[in-house]
A = this chain, B = another copy of it.
Amino acid sequence: MPVHSSTIICSTEGFIDVHDLTSDVRKIISESHVANGTVIVFVPGSTAGITTIEFERGAIEDLKKAIERIAPQDIHYAHNVHWNDGNGFAHVRAALLGPSLAIPLKDGNLRLGTWQQIVLIDFDNRPRSREIHVQIIGE
Contacts and interface: CB of A to CB of B under 8 A. Distances in A.
Contact of A95 (B3, B63, B91, B103): B63
Contact of A46 (B3, B78, B92, B115): B115
A79 interface: yes
A104 interface: yes
A125 interface: no
Contact of A97 (B91, B96, B113): B96
Query: Number of copies of this chain in the oligomer?
Result: 3
Contacts of A61: 78-79
A2 to B, nearest CB: 7
B104 A5 contact: yes
A101 B98 contact: yes
Given A5-B106, A98-B52, A104-B40, A70 B80 contact: no
